[in-house]
Structures are given as structure tokens and as C-alpha cells.
Amino acid sequence: MSGFTVAIVGRPNVGKSTLFNRLLEQRKAIVDDQSGVTRDRQYGVADWNGKYFNLIDTGGFVAESEDVFEREIRKQVHIAMEEADLILFVCDTTTGITGQDEDMAHVLRRSTKPVLLVVNKVDNSERALYATEFYSLGFDKTFFLSSLSGSGTGEVLDELVTYIKEEEVSLDLDKDGNPLPKFAIIGQPNAGKSTLLNALINQERTIVSDIAGTTRDTIHTYYKLFNKEFVLIDTAGIRKKKNVHEDLEFYSVIRAIKAMDEADVCMLLIDAKTGMTAQDVSIFSLAARKGKGIVLLVNKWDLVDNKETNTARDFEKGIKEKIEPFTDVPVIFISALDKTRIFQGMEKALEVYDNRNRRITTSVLNEIMLREIERYPAPMTRGYSVKIKFVQQVPTAVPSFAFFANHPDGIKEPYKNFLENKLRSHFNFSGVPVRIFMRKK
Ligand code: GDP
Ligand code: GDP
């Protein structure tokens, strides 16, 4: 999965949010609620022709005064140029080119990142005629579309994905040249990521080296534990960057997404004091959608008063209700501050890494799964019986299983869930999203 990141910028009301939703289709976005001058920012993962990319709608802002407006625009463009690999600069044909469009264009023309100019609200051929004035903004790649109807979006996406390179080979290798397991520590600001990292680093003396990312935005630390080598990816350092303070949340989410992309397993820190928030659930869903292994670490457990035997169990139950249907995920209660159970957390991450690499031989898979299917066959659809004849694990990074059937379209979500649950009950895929496909046989 690529970590290619696309940012949508433009002044208010040009249709950024509409374009964002159009490119994302029905998928869930992470919404970063903003108060005051800025409206919600949104994050999501989109795909086109089998290529995935992160999409960020940098948000808008309510123009109260010209000053606020100028500052916010500059900030938005600045963040996009810094964090994204490609920028979609959206303008509105119904207003024509405004002074603010020109200001933004001026800054964006000097961007080292590719910029695609998107002239929006070109809903009909009459508008298409006027829209050509936008060529004067001087962008080689100019597209005309209607986010509302979707017409023209295919051309932009075709161009956009040409910038996405095939997955880069990992540089984190062991002495035999094999890739090392990569674990990302992610979570909201103040969840305790830096504290956890420091606790892990201070306790272990066998760290090979620290390399601060020169070209990457995340920090990779080599680590050895239980005689196993791995790499910890963290985003804790972002606070040191200038201008980050007021946009901490925004940077944090972008960095969490990038760290996620680089990792095999995500260690998602939940603050025990706040519980699993809607934002945490969104980050969790995104990691699952990216096919990453996940371990949930409930941090600051030392702050939970009057713990009884059931406290942790009830807390875990509450979390699982929020992350349904993918609930086969380890939950560990830790205190990064007191260094309680932090190594247990690492052990779990290693276990999930192994689960993600689990390959089940075709003979074992068929023996076990066909027996389960025989016991509880797929329901009839439109008068014919659906027969699954063969199962095979597909050789992909994320455990994926192809079920071959006479009428693959006749198998619906509930039965797929049944198959997934049976797979999970026979084989250990704890913490790992599993994909189920139906194929024609
Ligand atoms: P943002 O502030 O840039 O995110 O803009 P929004 O996405 O909120 O859109 C502003 C307004 O423009 C909304 O009323 C949208 O329905 C409308 N809009 C967005 N795209 C199109 C389009 O392609 N055609 C037309 N006619 N209206 C659009
Ligand atoms: P980050 O923003 O996710 O890197 O969070 P930090 O590591 O900076 O932690 C934020 C605050 O939470 C700091 O004041 C930490 O001392 C505190 N903190 C972190 N972990 C724990 C914990 O396990 N227990 C308690 N009581 N406080 C913690």
C-alpha cells in the first residue's frame, strides 16, 4: 500500500468538500472538528485503478476579516506543500478567477510538488466555454469537472495516479537482507506516544541505531527485544517543528496516516481517561482498511481509580462494541509512565506481525473450511443452491482468501462474516484484517 498523499486546497465554497466526497465515494473519512474560523478537515483513503492514496481536504474557513482569510489561506497552502505529494488546487468556474485564486496560484506555482488545477462546477457545455479562462493561471495540468455530477473526475484521477510509484522497497533490513517488522506507535496528541517510546528505549540497551528521517516524516528506531529485531516508527517529534502548535491535531493525523502506511502493525494508543473516542475509532478503521495489523494499547491505566476485577474487562467490552465487526484485536492495558505491561504490548505486536504473515496450506484450509461449510451451507438465492467447492489463500501481504463457488454473487455479507469467523476460530489471525473474496468456479 502506498503512502502517497494528495491534498485538496482552494478558497471556501469552490467545492473542495464535494470533490473530496466524490473521490472517496462512500468511504468513511476522519473528520477533524474545528472550531472558530476553520471548518472541518477530512482525511480518507481513495483508490483508482488499483492504486491507493491518502486524500486530505485541508478544510475551509469562515472569512471574518480579510486578515484572517489571508493568514488561513497561506497556512493551508503551506501545510499542503509540506505534507502532500501532490496538490489538487480547486477553483470555481461560476465565480471566475478571483484575487484569492491568483494569490494561491502565485504560491502554488513555486511548489516543488506537482499541482493539478481543478476547475470545478463545470456542469454543462456552456460553463465549459467560460472555464477556459483558468488556463491563464498558468498550470500545465488543468482539468474541468463537476464534483456534483462526477463528470470529468476520471481524467483527473487518471493523471493523479501516474505520480504514484510502485511500492518502494523497504530500507530497513536485517543482516541477512530480510525486511524487519515495522511497528508504528500512533494515537492522538497526549495519548502518551513519546512517553511509551522513551520507556521502551531507556529500558533496552541493545538499540542498534537511531536514524532521524531525512527524507521521511517519521522516525525509525531499530530495536531488539526477546532476541527479535524490529523497527519502531514514531511521529512523536512533530511538536519540535515550528508552526506546528496551532495545527497539532492536523499534523498529528497526517503523520499518523504516514506512519501507518510504513508499518506492518500499528500500536494504537488509547487514553484511558477519555476512552476510545470517535477519532480513535476513525484511525482504527483506516488502519484496518489499509490492511495493517493492530494492537490496542489502553494507556494511563495507572490513572484509573478503584480498579476492580471487572474494570479492564468492561473497558475492553466498551472498545469492542465501538470497533465492530472487526473485534478480533488484542487490547492491552498499560502505563507508559510506570512502564507497566509495555513489553507485553510489544510481544503482542510481534505476535500480530506473525499472524499477518500466516499462510495456511490449501489442503488444510479445504479440509477445515469445507467441513464448516458443509455443516452450515450458504443459503439458497433466487431458487438455486450455492455451492462452495474450493478455498485458497491468495499470496498477498494482507491475509486474503478466495472461495470458489458456482454462484459467487449469491453469497452475501452475513455468510462472508460466517466464513471469516470460522477462519478466525481455526487459525490465529488476531489483530489482522482478513479479506474474503468470492470467485466463479
Ligand atoms: P468547500 O468550501 O470548498 O469545501 O465547498 P463545498 O464542497 O462545501 O461546496 C460549496 C458549494 O458548491 C455547495 O453548495 C456545493 O453543493 C456546491 N458545489 C460543489 N461542487 C459543485 C459542482 O460541481 N457543481 C455545482 N453546480 N455546484 C457544486
Ligand atoms: P504524545 O503526545 O502522544 O507523545 O503524549 P506524551 O507522551 O507527550 O504524553 C502526554 C502526557 O501524558 C504527558 O504529560 C505524560 O507524562 C502523560 N502520560 C503518558 N503516559 C502516561 C501514563 O501511562 N500514565 C500517566 N499518568 N500519564 C501518562
Find out whether the beta carbon of 12 lies less than 6 Å from any atom of ligand 1.
yes
User: Does residue 371 have a pLDDT over 90?
Assistant: yes
Best mutation site among 190, 239, 249 for ligand 2 pocket (most ligand atoms within 8 Å of CB): 190
Find out whether the beta carbon of 18 lies less than 6 Å from any atom of ligand 1.
yes
Quote the pTM value: 0.72
Residue 212 confidence (pLDDT): 38
Residue 167 confidence (pLDDT): 56
Handedness of CA 246, 248, 254, 258 (dihedral sign): positive
User: Does residue 341 have a pLDDT over 90?
Assistant: yes
Q: How far is the CA of 340 from the centre of ligand 2 (A)?
A: 13
Percent of the chain at pLDDT above 90? Answer: 51
In angstroms, how far apart are the furthest CA atoms of the chain?
A: 71
Find out whether the beta carbon of 185 lies less than 6 Å from any atom of ligand 2.
no
Q: 77-86, 309-318, 410-419: which range is least confident on average?
A: 77-86
Q: How far is the CA of 263 from the centre of ligand 1 (A)?
A: 36
Question: DSSP string of 149-160?
Answer: T-TTHHHHHHHH
C-alpha separations of 121 from 86, 383, 419 in Å = 21, 47, 45
With bands split at pLDDT 50, 70 and 90, how would you rate the model's confidence at 3?
Answer: confident
Please indicate whether residue 162 or residue 189 has the higher confidence score (pLDDT).
162
Q: How far apart are CA 392 and CA 135, in angstroms?
A: 52
Find out whether the beta carbon of 189 lies less than 6 Å from any atom of ligand 2.
yes
Q: 184-198, 249-263, 396-410: which range is least confident on average?
A: 249-263
Residue 52 confidence (pLDDT): 80
User: Does residue 338 have a pLDDT over 90?
Assistant: yes
